[in-house]
Structure 1
């Protein structure tokens, strides 16, 4: 994301037909690894990033942001660092503290050097080679942290200058090889040129060669999606080419709006969910230069979610619904269960209320859980299990105490008085035989918050 700099005019997308070469990557050291186009944590479990960027280098006192981002359900935080070329350097001690904050809050740390932003077009930006100098200078804070840290070499390392963009593949491959030669065994993330948006398709058409140049075959590619990606066709085509080539791709930044156009964030989030691709939204708080609307919370206050923050954390295909904690922290296999609701992030959740499900006529069962509760509101989760395959569903129940839903993810809902009908969305439509799906919601309550006594799935009683 370009901060404090006006975006240059975005050139028209060229129609380029390319063929990727599928590369079977090797396993690297005891940290994150890449295999067959997917990212795996140190326990060998697939890991899909769900998180946001945090502008640490400009707001170093906001250390509570790590806990607040985690509390809203994220499994990853992308941390802005400075090399000392454009902004004051984040030194070894500071980076070590950032890593400790990530680990304390069970977040995967994606650390990025920001001073490369717009190289070749932005006058003060520095090269990827200078970014490697920075990583080598703080190496002691990172070695041994491969289970928890991914190194994003340089943010948006080229602007739109065609002469410098042409060097992206060579310079990126050399940067990766130089880090490897100096003992970095981390998964390395590399950003696209064209202010991260790759409208020239330079990264897309050279990704296989860059991946092959990594001696450990442990490189992940990051595309930033703003105004260039304003249609579903563009988003799906770009991401699917990487999937088809078995090359690892993440949406390393995106927003709901931008000065260069209006990105299709709904498709970005839906496609990444259906294709198991990571995403990292921009950004937690503190934006300037005319893009303040990209703040997810106001003044770093998690109790003041903006509309963008509410969308990315609580909306369809949002972080709460799709994030899984990395298994190196003990998570990674269960449904997400963030400890606080966006309606009251500063409130402590009450103990869960979880009636024990039982088998019922119709071969379905429902587990209803109060994940967190605070005065006047609560967060719920519903798990639907079925002995027979289901393709498309609605679930009906009645609240007993006047509870009223005000938001849901993983399902749409309608409520009339006490009667609620929840209906699948695209990515929760299918329940395999013997399988289950889950959805979540926010609701108000007053006085008593009893669990519903009965549920009906497509008209058949479950409990």
Structure 2
């Protein structure tokens, strides 16, 4: 009897352990993770990707692109790498430098292997298995950077060949598990077949099983939206299939036009914003083969935006308007900056001074980036007590002006700038911070003026 009880108890404990293993990610406290169908950081802060692709592997000398991309408000850069199967392999040291450039410019790095593009239809395209071989070769460059890096296993890993596409789910699951077995704790990003556009619905129909095959439950799906997505209804149907199913999705590539049709970029940008999904536009600069119109800037010049660049950065639902810096860099929910000293610098006076009229918050202004004639500023608002809204004001130095802003409603009267919260970032708990950003012009250099904050409680 006792032996039977012991066996029964052991079976129950084994069942409980197996259920916990299924429900809990293996590396819940490491870097980014997927939680309830959302991409969050290690502290559980939501992170919505707003970025662009940069063709680093073909333009490795254009290292200034990282600062320029950040200067227009992006929080993420998708970096094109090569496994050496079709183009020159990016070395460990090169990838390490890319990661350092991303971190120096407060960007999340999504690294992707481009050699897999169009496998089964494109001559010379690499398999996902070959892409994993490359990730294992450069593992030292990304290990320990799980809070700054997302690993996009392979770009558009299948063309339109029906037989090859049927292997997408099994091959993608196998690639995920090889990386996990090798110690990759990063959030993994997997592209759809059909040149990334999934017009056959293969990723859509198999996403749940692929997600479940990841022992860490930390895989994000990436759809590329070009000519297949000319109709708003098609865009909405695809996006909402994933959100309704609680599966994580980003639009990993899209443009304002394409050789296979005219995608509805307005619908893509508005509905990803409505649903809280990330998007990454293609691409910063360097396009050829008849799609030069997809360049966002002319000749890698960050100050020479093309019509597509103006649209994606500064149009409705654009990057500058909707991006929030990653929490790891001090964005919403993240580290607001330096730790306060334990001892106050001065003894408090016996008579407290009158608080500000509304009081309740502080504002810290800093210059994030600067270039010839322009700069990017950021203001971090921190609540001293629970508040339901805030207004920040500052006096612009001579020759300095604000041109575009995001995450705040900003107006200028003479030299006075007033910035107020928008609908989603006005309510803050005591000690909680949020940030807004802007770009501006200057003559002779940018400076960070003192900013004051008034709050509604």
Coarse TM-score class (shorter-chain normalised) = 0.7 to 0.9
Structure 2 partner of 1:28 = 27
Structure 1 partner of 2:91 = 91
**Inter-partner Cα distance in structure 1 for 2:68 and 2:222:** 25
**Inter-partner Cα distance in structure 2 for 1:101 and 1:433:** 32
**Inter-partner Cα distance in structure 1 for 2:366 and 2:147:** 32
- C-alpha distance 440-108 of structure 1, shift in aligned 2 (>3 A): closer
**Inter-partner Cα distance in structure 1 for 2:90 and 2:427:** 49
Moved over 3 A (4+): 357-360, 369-383, 387-390, 403-415, 427-434, 437-446
Q: What do the CA deviations read for 1:163-214 (whole angstroms, capped 9, x no partner)? A: 1111110110011011111111111100000010101110001000000000
**Inter-partner Cα distance in structure 1 for 2:231 and 2:387:** 37
Q: Rg larger in 1 or in 2?
A: 2
Structure 1 partner of 2:129 = 129
- C-alpha distance 359-78 of structure 1, shift in aligned 2 (>3 A): same
**Inter-partner Cα distance in structure 2 for 1:36 and 1:218:** 11
- C-alpha distance 85-442 of structure 1, shift in aligned 2 (>3 A): closer
- C-alpha distance 378-64 of structure 1, shift in aligned 2 (>3 A): closer
Q: What do the CA deviations read for 1:422-456 (whole angstroms, capped 9, x no partner)? A: 9x9xx95998899xx9998878899xxxx9xxxxx
Which is helix-richer, 1 or 2?
2
Q: What do the CA deviations read for 1:386-414 (whole angstroms, capped 9, x no partner)? A: x9999xxxxxxxxxx9x999767679999
Where in structure 1 are there 5+ consecutive unaligned residues? 1-22, 337-356, 391-400, 416-421, 452-461
**Inter-partner Cα distance in structure 2 for 1:327 and 1:380:** 17
Q: Is the 8 A contact 1:78 1:111 kept in 2?
A: yes
Structure 2 partner of 1:270 = 270
**Inter-partner Cα distance in structure 2 for 1:208 and 1:406:** 44
- C-alpha distance 24-265 of structure 1, shift in aligned 2 (>3 A): farther
Structure 1 partner of 2:395 = none
- C-alpha distance 166-314 of structure 1, shift in aligned 2 (>3 A): same
Superposition map of 1:259-408 within 5 A: 259-333=259-333
- How many residue pairs match? The answer is 408
Q: What do the CA deviations read for 1:31-82 (whole angstroms, capped 9, x no partner)? A: 1111110111123211111111110000011111111111221111110000
Where in structure 2 are there 5+ consecutive unaligned residues? 1-21, 337-354, 390-397, 413-418, 444-448, 450-455
Task: Name the TM-score, length of structure 2 as normaliser.
Answer: 0.73
**Inter-partner Cα distance in structure 1 for 2:53 and 2:42:** 23
**Inter-partner Cα distance in structure 2 for 1:229 and 1:273:** 17
Q: How many angstroms does 1:377 deviate by?
A: 8.2
Q: Is the 8 A contact 1:52 1:76 kept in 2?
A: yes
Secondary structure class of the residue paired with 1:224: strand
**Inter-partner Cα distance in structure 2 for 1:433 and 1:183:** 38
Q: Is the 8 A contact 1:51 1:279 kept in 2?
A: yes
- C-alpha distance 381-215 of structure 1, shift in aligned 2 (>3 A): closer
**Inter-partner Cα distance in structure 2 for 1:59 and 1:378:** 25
Q: Is the 8 A contact 1:370 1:378 kept in 2?
A: no
Structure 2 partner of 1:146 = 146
